[in-house]
Structure 1
């Protein structure tokens, strides 16, 4: 596991690190609690925080509270507090501030490893619950709610001047596939398309046969090229059916981030472009920023 340890004493940090690293744990140590908090925010791989109550500039209780807020943001994180004075009040305050466990300082090897085994069990369960809550069960892509939450976080990091594009996709005549070949073949088609889309960027199944991919760092032209390749790859798919291979196509709508934009506006434009592709022949890529504007100008 990836573990962060915070204590004002470098000796204590060295002792605990010496107990953990031989067991294969990845350990980062801090004497500055504010620096530790910043590291936790930036490093989602951390699964356990072990912090003394006697740290500065943030107190141990404040660090516990900040870590708990991170954990509530759909992220597994187990918090263990340490104190050289095991008092009922210290224990109660630590637990009330968001700690999961309490250990005396310096900890004994057996007790520390036992508590970390408990931490691993709990964070593994939390990981699975988060996966189930955020993942579409048929495709393994993000579900609609998780997709828009993830895109919102990416857009916030991109800011006004970031580069970010969206591609919306919809399987053409999907009802016909279900009606003529059965729902098992329809499900196989959805999975095959999702496998291609999921390899491109932040991908989600928005519902039924509709998908979306957000491409951080890609311009409109690059996103159009991605959509074009996907269109051809999907045309080449052959889904096994009871009466032979089943072919399918997809329509695509593309949009890109503009200064002062929002996720809602970005995805709305991609959705409008997708609708344009569906209503003007299908098996097409339409861009919200070029094709639709040119069509209206004409």
Structure 2
């Protein structure tokens, strides 16, 4: 039986991974209550003691704006931690799964980014995620780096839950309409991770041919404004009494809503490499939102 070490099992993605990884082996979890993720020597000691065959790193500093003023803290979790895990994975000849972000790209144009495109982060958060990617690639032969976008889930703090909460209490709402990407549910990330890992493990001596960076998101794209609109449509179909008046739901520009960290305008991700390499068919973002919303309302 394989030993799988999962970091951050209580986060949005981690919660889904706990369930998705079970068929692949014995899952050992390390949460922030078990070890400080910024204390890399402590993490290394705990992970090594579990003799991992697979390490899945769902830990991340995700406070994008806060990273602008807390650069060192962001880099400790987003760069130093994956670097240390890559070294441990290499020592144990284990697979390392690491999650990255659309923020590593410069966000210009309208063409979906390919994994081979030049990176160019616009923020400290993006820089820290790119540093983590590079460290994993440099220090671990057997790695799967999944760059994803706009992650949400039925639990935790995310755009879907925030928009619904606001629509239930406010009559008017403005949402940015000039940033484009694909809303990605944590459940899909976990499912694809498990499927890719299964193929990687079965590949045996050919395993390293599967190593690399992959884009993981649903098909299609939308703006944050369109994403919110779809959420409100589903809520009304469920009979929720939204306080939000349709005529008071308005699209604004990024310039109208300044933030400490610059956001990429174009977060479209080309999914061809992931689909072809692992023979997967990724679903449309609207279908995934409907499933995730149903899960939220069921709870």
Regarding TM over 0.5, the answer is no
* TM-score range for the pair, normalised by the shorter chain length: 0.3 to 0.5
Which structure carries more relative contact order (alpha carbon 8 Å, separation 6+)?
2
Q: Choose 1 or 2 for highest CA Rg.
A: 1
TM-score (norm 2): 0.34
Kindly indicate which of the two structures has a greater share of residues assigned to strand: 1
